[in-house]
Amino acid sequence: TALQELRKFNARRKFRAAVSTVKATISLTKSLTLGNSPRGSKDSEGSDKDDEAPPPAAANATEASPPPAPTPSNSSGFGMENAKQSVVVAGMNITRWQMVEINVPAGPLGILLDGSCTQAALLDDFAPVARDGTPGAVEASGTIPHGSVLIGMDSVDFLLEPRKNLADIGTILRESAHLKRRLRFRVPPLDRKKLQQTEVNPSEESDTSTLLQGPTSSSTELVSSSDTDKPKAAGERSNWTWSGMRPSTKLAAPPSCVASPESDPTPLPPPIPEALVSDVASLVVCQLVKPTGRAPSFVRVTGMEDRIPSGGPFVPRDCDKVVAVDVPAGSLGLNLDGTVADRAVVVGFVALPDGSRGTLERNGSVGAGAELVEINGEDVSQAPLAVIRERLSATSGTQRRLSFRLPQPPKSAASLKLQSATRAVSAASKMRVNQSSGAVVLEDADLRRRLELKLIMSFDRKELKFKECWFVVNTAWMNRWVLFVGKGGPEPGPISNDELLQPGWETHLSDDTPGRADVVRSGLQLTKDYRCVAPLVWSLLVALHGSGKAPTLARYALDIESEAASQLEINQVLREATPQAVGLAAKLREKCQVLQAPSQ
C-alpha cells in the first residue's frame, strides 16, 4: 500500500512538471511575439501545498530566453549628434580645431575681427591696447594665431542655434568691456595633411602648380607639405607661418608667370612677414588657370623686399596736393586699406583706446583715399604697406610728422561742343577729343540726362541718419537742373547759392575781414527760395556739376535760419559720401561715352 501511494505521488509530480513546461513555453512565445522582455510565468499549481522546486524544464526555458532588447534612446545619438554639430565658418570646418581659453582683464581686447565674414568672429589682426604699444592679453598669450574663430565668452556660446553673427558678438564684447572675461577660441591646426586631401583635387596632383581654393579671408586654410612632420634642426627656420603659406607655394598660373625650382637656381627668398601676408588680399597676380570666383587672400609677393624707403623727402608732382599733420605719440586712430599691399591708403578712422578721436580725424584735412607718402621727412610713397606699418610702429613713442597725398579729382577729357546750324549731329551729343589717341569721344546727353535723374532719385530721401545734416540748394539752380534732366535744357552749371547769402559775402571769405560769409538773407522760405537735400545727393550734384564760390550751407533742421553746421561737422558728414559720389559720377560718365575714329 505504501508503495502504491509513492507511485501515485511521483506520477502527480511528473504531470505537474509537464504542465509547467507547456505553460512556460506558451508564455515565452507570447512575450517574444509582443516584443516584451521574456519573463518566467508562475503557474497556478505551483502554489500547491507541496513545497516543491520549480520544474527543471521551466527553469531551463527561462534561462535560455534571450536578454531584453535595449530600448532605443534619443534618435540623436552620439555619432549622429557629432555629425549634426559640424561647425563651418567661412568655408572651413572648425569642428576638430583645438579650443583655447584666454582670461582677459577689463578694457580693450586688442583684436581686430574680419569684417568680410559677417556670420562669425574671425580673428584678422591684433592692435595695441595702450599708447606705448602694449599688446592685449589675447596677443600676449601667443596661442591665438590669425584665422582663429572666437566661439564663446564665459557662459555664452556664440555657435549655439541661433548662431551669433559678427554684429551680435561685437555688441556683447562692447557691453562687457568693463568686466573680466574668459574668451574661447577655435585655433586652426598647423598640420593640414588631412585637409590637403579634401582641398586638392587628386586628378590634378600631376600639375606643377597648385590652385588655392576657399574664401578670400585672412583665415583661408592652405595645404601643407609632409615636411611639417620632419624634425627641424637646431636653429633652422621653419618654412611655415601662422597663416599657413610656404614660400615655395605657387598659384595656379601659366608657366611664364611661375618659375620652377629647377629652372631658377637662385635660392628662395625668406618667408614673407606675417603682417604683409594678411594685407595682400587684392594683389594683382598672374591670371589663374582655374579661377574660384575671387582671388586667393594669401599670395607670394615677389620683388617687394627691394622696395625700401629712399631715405630722402617726398618730392610731389605738380598735380599732387600734399598735407602734413603733426601727430603726438601713441595710436594714430588710422585705418589703412589692407587690400592694397604696395602703398598705404586711408580708408577711414578708428577710435583711440580711450574712445576719443585721433589727431588725424580731428584735423579734417585727411580723408578716405589719401595716401601716406612721408614719415618724419622720409619718402615712403614707394614702400609696401608692411614696411610703412613697421615705420609707424617704430616711431609710435615719439611725435611724428606725417604727410598725405590727397586723392585727385576725376579727370574729364577736353570737350568740343558741336555747333552746327543744320544740327547734323544731334544736340543730344557732345564731342570730346581724346588727346592721347586722337579718337573722338561722343557723349550722349540724352542718356546722360536719364541716368543722372535715375541716380539722383535713387539716393533722395526724406529722413536723415544719425549725425547727418541737410544741405541747402538754391531753388533757382534746382529749377535749371530739372530743366536739364527733364526737358533737354542746357547744363545748369555749378551750384550757385549766392542769392541766398547777405550782400557782400565775398569780402568775408578772407581771414582778414571779420564776420562770417555764410550768413543768409532774412525771409527765405523753404521750397520757394531753397531746397534741402541729403548728403549723398549733394555730393553727387557737386561731383557732376561742381560747386560755386559760395560757402556750403548745412542745417540739422529743414529751416535755413536754424543753427548752421560747422565746417568740421560738414567734413565729418561728407567723409564717406564724397568718395562714393565721385565714383558713381565717374561710372555714369563712362556709360555715356562712345569712341569713334577721327575720320568719322
Evaluate whether 444 touches 488 at the Cβ level (below 8 Å).
Answer: no
Which residues does residue 430 pair with via DSSP β-bridges, in sequence order? 443
CA distances from 400 to 329, 343, 403 (A): 7, 19, 10
Measured CA distances, 484 to 305, 439, 443, 480, 497 (Å):
54, 27, 15, 6, 18
Do 398 and 422 reside in the same domain of the chain?
no
Contact 405, 322 (CB under 8 A): yes
Task: Give the domain-ending residue among 379, 405, 431.
Answer: 405
Domain holding 377, by residue range, is 322-405
State how far the alpha carbon of 265 is from the alpha carbons of 21, 248, 261, in Å: 92, 13, 7
Same domain? For 20 and 95 the reply is no
Is the domain of 481 the same as that of 574? Answer: yes
DSSP three-state, residue 338: coil
Res 51: pLDDT: 44
Q: Are 180 and 104 in contact (CB under 8 A)?
A: yes
Which SS3 state, helix, strand or coil, does residue 9 take? helix
> In CATH, what number is assigned to the domain containing residue 380?
2.30.42.10
Shared domain check, 160 and 140? yes
- Using alpha carbons, list the distances in angstroms from residue 339 to 124, 196, 391, 438: 13, 27, 19, 35
| pLDDT, position 513 | 66
Angstrom distance (rounded) from CA 543 to CA 582: 6
Phi-psi region of 548 (alpha: psi -120 to 50; beta: other; left: phi over 0): beta
Other C-beta atoms closer than 10 Å to the C-beta of 435 total 9
**Quick one: pLDDT at residue 32?**
58
Last residue of a domain, one of 405, 430, 464: 405
CA 180/CA 548 separation, integer angstroms: 55
Based on the fold, state whether residues 494 and 588 are members of the same structural domain.
Answer: yes
Please check whether residues 47 and 135 belong to one and the same domain.
no
What is the rounded CA–CA span in Å between residue 273 and residue 242? 10
Q: Does residue 36 lie in a domain region? A: yes
Q: What would the grid cell of residue 478 be?
A: 534746382
Does residue 444 lie in a domain region? yes
d(CA 166, CA 114): 9
Which CATH number characterizes residue 445's domain? 3.30.2230.10
Say if 234 falls within a structural domain.
Answer: no
Q: Read off φ and ψ for residue 28, nearest 5 degrees.
A: -65, -40
- Report whether 302 contacts 320 (CB < 8 A): no
Mark whether 101 and 60 lie in a shared domain.
Answer: no
Cβ-contact 224, 244 below 8 angstroms: yes
Q: What does the pLDDT read at residue 595?
A: 66
Answer whether residue 211 is part of any domain: no
pTM exceeds cut of 0.75: no
Listed in sequence order, the residues at least 6 apart from 597 whose beta carbon sits closer than 8 Å to its beta carbon are: 439, 440
Asked whether residue 248 is domain-assigned, the answer is no
206 domain-assigned: no
Asked which of 378, 405, 432 is the last residue of a domain, the reply is 405
- 468 and 345 in a single domain? The answer is no
Number of structural domains in the chain? 4
Three-state DSSP at 59 gives helix
Q: What is the pLDDT along the chain (600 residues), one digit of tens a residue?
A: 777 777 888 888 888 888 888 888 777 766 655 554 444 444 444 444 444 444 444 334 334 444 444 443 443 333 334 444 677 877 788 888 889 999 999 888 889 888 888 888 888 888 888 766 788 889 888 889 988 999 999 989 998 878 888 888 988 988 888 888 999 999 988 654 444 444 444 444 344 434 434 443 333 333 333 444 444 444 443 333 333 333 333 333 444 444 444 444 444 445 544 444 444 333 333 333 333 333 333 333 333 344 455 568 888 887 888 889 999 988 888 888 877 778 888 888 888 877 788 888 888 888 888 889 999 988 988 888 888 888 898 888 888 999 999 887 654 433 333 333 333 333 344 444 444 445 566 778 888 888 999 999 999 888 888 888 999 999 999 999 999 988 888 888 999 888 888 888 877 776 666 767 788 888 999 988 999 999 999 999 999 998 888 888 999 998 888 888 888 889 999 988 899 999 899 888 888 886 665 555
Render 12-56 in DSSP notation, one character per residue. Answer: HHHHHHHHHHHHHHHHHHHHHHHTPPP-----GGGGSSS--PPPH
Tell me: the pLDDT tens digits for 83-127? 446 778 777 888 888 899 999 998 888 898 888 888 888 888 888
* 557 in any annotated domain: yes
How far apart CA 127 and CA 106 sit, in angstroms, is 16
Tell me which amino acid residue 163 is.
R
Does residue 585 contact residue 540 with C-beta atoms inside 8 Å? yes
Distances (CA, A) of 81 to 78, 87, 349: 5, 12, 45
Cell 582670461 -> residue: 103
Give me the pLDDT at residue 149, please. Answer: 92
Q: Are 210 and 223 in contact (CB under 8 A)?
A: yes
Q: Are residues 480 and 397 both part of a single domain?
A: no
Q: Are residues 579 and 436 in the same domain?
A: yes
Is 101 found in the same domain as 50? no
Question: Residue 390 domain-assigned?
Answer: yes
**Please, are residues 297 and 216 in contact by the beta-carbon 8 Å criterion?**
yes
Tell me the sheet residues that pair with 89: 92
Name the amino acid, one letter, at 430: K
Same structural domain for residues 46 and 100? Answer: no
How many Å apart are CA 200 and CA 417, to the nearest integer?
Answer: 59
Q: What is the DSSP letter of 579?
A: H
Report the C-alpha gap between 289 and 106 in whole angstroms. Answer: 50
